[in-house]
Amino acid sequence: MIDQLLSLRRGRKQILMLAGDVAMVMVAMCAAYSLRYNRFYLPFGDEIYLWVLAPILAIPVFIRFGLYQTIVRYIGFTSLWRVFQAISLYALLWGVLAFLSGIQVTPRSVVIINWLVCLLLITGTRMVARWILTAKAPGFLGAERDERRNVLIYGAGAAGMQLAISTSYSNEMRPVGFVDDDPVLMNQQVNGIRVYHPDELDRLISEFAIKEVLLAMPSATQARRQRILVSLARYPVLVQTLPDISELESCEVDLEDVRDIDIADLLEREPIAPIEELLHANIKDKVVMVTGAGGSIGSELCRQVSQLGVKRLILFDHSEFNLYRLERELNDSDLNFESVLGSVMDVDLLTQLCVQNQVQTIYHAAAYKHVPLVESNTSAGAANNVLGTRNCAHAAIEAGVETFVLISTDKAVRPTNVMGASKRMAELVLQDLSHNNSCNTRFTMVRFGNVLDSSGSVVPLFRDQIKNGGPVTVTHPEIIRYFMTIREATQLVLQAGAMGEGGDVFVLDMGEPVKIVGLARKMIQLSGLTVKEERDPNGDIEIAFTGLRAGEKLFEELLITESAVSTRHQRIMREREIGLALGGLDSMLEDLAVAIQNRDEEEVRVLLFGMVESYNAVPEQKAG
Which tens digit of pLDDT belongs to each residue from 362-379? 999 999 988 889 999 999
Mean pLDDT taken over the chain = 83
The model's confidence at residue 109, banded by pLDDT at 50, 70 and 90, is confident
Q: Identify whether residues 239 and 356 lie together within a single domain.
A: no
| Residue range 233-238: mean pLDDT, rounded | 84
- With beta carbons less than 8 A apart as the criterion, state whether 267 and 451 touch: no
From 136, 171, 198, the end of a domain falls on 136
Domain-located, residue 565: yes
Domain-located, residue 364: yes
Q: What is the model's pLDDT at position 354?
A: 96
CA distance 105 to 101: 9
Q: What is the model's pLDDT at position 44?
A: 79
Domain-located, residue 218: yes
Q: Identify whether residues 539 and 589 lie together within a single domain.
A: yes
From 203, 236, 261, the end of a domain falls on 261
CA distance 138 to 146: 11
Q: Identify whether residues 94 and 198 lie together within a single domain.
A: no
pLDDT digits (tens, 9 = 90+) for 529-545: 888 888 888 888 999 99
pLDDT of residue 349 exceeding 70, the answer is yes
304-318, 417-431, 484-498, 546-560: range with highest mean pLDDT = 304-318
Q: What is the model's pLDDT at position 143?
A: 40
From 115, 136, 157, the end of a domain falls on 136
Give CA separation, 600 vs 244, 415, 419, in Å.
51, 21, 17
Q: Identify whether residues 65 and 183 lie together within a single domain.
A: no
- Residue 562's contacts (CB-CB under 8 Å, 6 or more residues apart) are none
Q: Identify whether residues 31 and 110 lie together within a single domain.
A: yes
The model's confidence at residue 222, banded by pLDDT at 50, 70 and 90, is confident
Q: Identify whether residues 116 and 159 lie together within a single domain.
A: no
Q: Identify whether residues 86 and 198 lie together within a single domain.
A: no
Q: Identify whether residues 256 and 316 lie together within a single domain.
A: no
pLDDT of residue 278 exceeding 60, the answer is yes
Which of 85-94, 137-146, 462-471, 564-573 is predicted least confidently? 137-146
Using alpha carbons, select from 350, 328, 330, 329 the residue that is nearest to residue 340.
Answer: 350
Q: What is the model's pLDDT at position 267?
A: 67
Pairing of strands 238-241, 259-260: antiparallel
Domain-located, residue 622: no
Alpha helices in 208-346 (DSSP H): 222-232, 276-281, 296-306, 320-330
Q: Identify whether residues 323 and 190 lie together within a single domain.
A: no
pTM summary value: 0.67
| CATH code assigned at 233 | 3.40.50.720
Domain-located, residue 315: yes
pLDDT digits (tens, 9 = 90+) for 299-328: 999 999 999 999 999 999 999 999 999 999
User: Could you tell me the residue range of the domain that residue 104 belongs to?
Assistant: 2-136
Q: What is the model's pLDDT at position 7?
A: 57
Domain-located, residue 266: no
Domain-located, residue 18: yes
Q: Identify whether residues 498 and 563 lie together within a single domain.
A: yes
Total domains present in the chain: 3
Q: Identify whether residues 130 and 153 lie together within a single domain.
A: no
Q: What is the model's pLDDT at position 579?
A: 47
Q: Identify whether residues 237 and 349 lie together within a single domain.
A: no
Helix orientation angle between 296-306 and 320-330, rounded to the nearest 10 degrees? 20
Domain-located, residue 567: yes
The model's confidence at residue 140, banded by pLDDT at 50, 70 and 90, is very low
Give me the residues paired with residue 536 across strands: 533
Q: What is the model's pLDDT at position 622?
A: 40
87-91, 257-261, 508-512, 608-612: range with highest mean pLDDT = 87-91
CA distance 309 to 443: 22
Q: What is the model's pLDDT at position 1?
A: 55
| Residue range 497-514: mean pLDDT, rounded | 84
